[in-house]
Amino acid sequence: MKESIHQFFQVGTILWMSWPKTDPIEALKRVARDDFFDAIELKSFGERNEEARDILRQSHMKVCYGAQPRLLGPKLNPNALDEEERLKAERTLLEAIDEAEYLGARGIAFLAGKWQEETKEEAYAQLLKTTRKLCDYAAAKNMSVELEVFDYDMDKAALIGPAPLAARFAADMRTTHSNFGLLVDLSHFPTTYETSRFVIRTLRPYITHFHFGNAVVRKGCEGYGDLHPRLGYPNSANDVAELVDFLRVLKDEGFFCQDEPYVLSMEVTPRPGEDEEIIVANTKRCLNRAWSLV
């Protein structure tokens, strides 16, 4: 593409992934000072939320709130069959909507919980219950709710899950809530044994947000699982060629939107011994190169 990628996407990064070793407010300032980034995805800053909000107000970046850590850390499950366990997850996600609003985000993203084959349909019904509650609450604030599609049997082992099941879930949600959407991540396509073309075409009507990154899916190899190493990591699935394919599919399926650009965020994190700034620079280079080949 000859045109700038910023003409068609709001390019972002996931703050807690890109700078895991840096003070979060200092990391936020680094992103806010870098005009490569049009968007930022963040989680709670705790007692420093006011400080973070002041920086975000100055930045002119689109703010996105990731509620995934609220679930993954304490191992909460929004599709738990035990109702009290489900409600614990629901409560923290409702709190996330309030916190997201405070920080200037217009919605939250979260993920489904673990599941068992014999109770899959019951878990699906529980997830619908949680998500509809979140969407009701968010709609009253003119906010949105996004479910990120994860692997179903490799690492996170989330109910949603393979693209066809994600499409079914999103269709069910859209019958009642227009403020629901799906977040898809190139990093996760290898972990669900699917391709960019299959995922994007299957989920086309419901996608509202994009991530890109990498994964190692060869068992026994360093970095195996949903760990988001840099593009081109040894024995990994994604590099520039896979990113080019991803972007071409997005173009073919009509996701290059100048008037209302989608968020396209890098989700990469340094492996032990790697430098945060170099990994972010690596990802920018890969994105720039891939864009030039689309």
Q: What is the pLDDT of residues 137-156, one digit of tens each?
A: 999 999 999 999 999 999 99
Q: Return the pLDDT at 147.
A: 98
Mean pLDDT of 102-121: 98
Q: Return the pLDDT at 177.
A: 98
Q: How far apart are CA 99 and CA 12, in angstroms?
A: 20
Name the residue type at position 73.
G
Q: Which of 60, 18, 56, 58 is nearest to 38 (CA)?
A: 60
Q: How far apart are CA 10 and CA 28, in angstroms?
A: 17
Residue 120 CB-density burial (10 A; 0-12 exposed, 13-18 middle, 19+ buried): middle
76 neighbors 69 (Cβ within 8 angstroms): no
In this prediction, residue 194 has a pLDDT band, given cuts at 50, 70 and 90, of very high
Threshold 0.95, pTM exceeds: yes
Q: Which of 91, 66, 88 is nearest to 77 (CA)?
A: 88
Q: Residue 119, Cα to own-chain centre: how many angstroms? A: 26
Q: For residue 258, give the DSSP letter.
A: S
Residue 126's domain comprises 5-293
Percent pLDDT > 70 in the chain is 100
pLDDT in tens, 47-74: 999 999 999 999 999 999 999 999 999 9
Q: Return the pLDDT at 66.
A: 98
Q: How far apart are CA 26 and CA 48, in angstroms?
A: 12
Mean pLDDT of 225-229: 97
CATH number at residue 244: 3.20.20.150
Determine what percent of the chain falls in helix, strand and coil, rounding each to the nearest 5: 45, 15, 35
95 neighbors 67 (Cβ within 8 angstroms): no
Mean pLDDT of 119-134: 98
Two structure tokens written together for 118: 């014999």
Give the count of domains, the chain: 1
Q: Return the pLDDT at 71.
A: 98
